[in-house]
Amino acid sequence: MLHIYCPHCAEYREEEEFRPKGEAHIARPVEPEATSDEDWGNYLFFRKNPRGLHHELWYHAAGCRKFFNITRDTVSYQIHETYKVGQQPSVTKQASSSKGAAK
């Protein structure tokens, strides 16, 4: 069982209280009318499925019923951080690779 920190309730809760909602940070095309079918299809249906670091949208279904984001490792299941919608992750592939390069 994952122990997930809800940034709205500001405490750790059991995984059972949450629902995963897939990839986070998917921006809706600003002008749907001017968007090509291919781009619209990609926006609606195509999702990343990375091995490793992933930013996901989660829903605190049994608690505050708010959405928030999780940076999670899909291999180890380790949760690196949780943050509110509208905020940016601090743990990213770029951040970890630049950290690796600095070493």
Interface positions with another protein (CB under 8 A):
8-11, 13-14, 16-17, 62-66
In the complex, what is the shortest distance from the CB of residue 13 to another protein, in angstroms, rounded to a whole number?
A: 7
**Backbone angles phi and psi of 35, in degrees to 5:** -90, 135
Cβ nearer to Zn ion, comparing 5 with 43: 5
Q: Which two tokens stand for residue 90?
A: 């601090």
- Smallest separation, CB 56 to Zn ion (Å): 16
Kindly determine how many residues on this chain lie close enough to bind Zn ion according to the rule CB under 5 A: 6
* Structural Rg of the chain based on CA atoms: 16
Stretch that binds Zn ion, among 20-28, 30-38, 56-64, 93-101 (CB under 5 A): 56-64
The DSSP code for 20 is E
Q: Edge-to-edge, what's the strand order for the sheet holding 53-59? A: 19-23, 53-59, 67-73, 79-84
- Cα atoms found within 13 Å of the Cα of residue 26, Cβ hemisphere only: 17
Shortest distance, position 30 Cβ to another protein, whole Å: 25
Nearer to another protein by Cβ, of 18 and 54: the residue is 18
Binding site for Zn ion (CB under 5 A): 6, 8-9, 60, 63-64
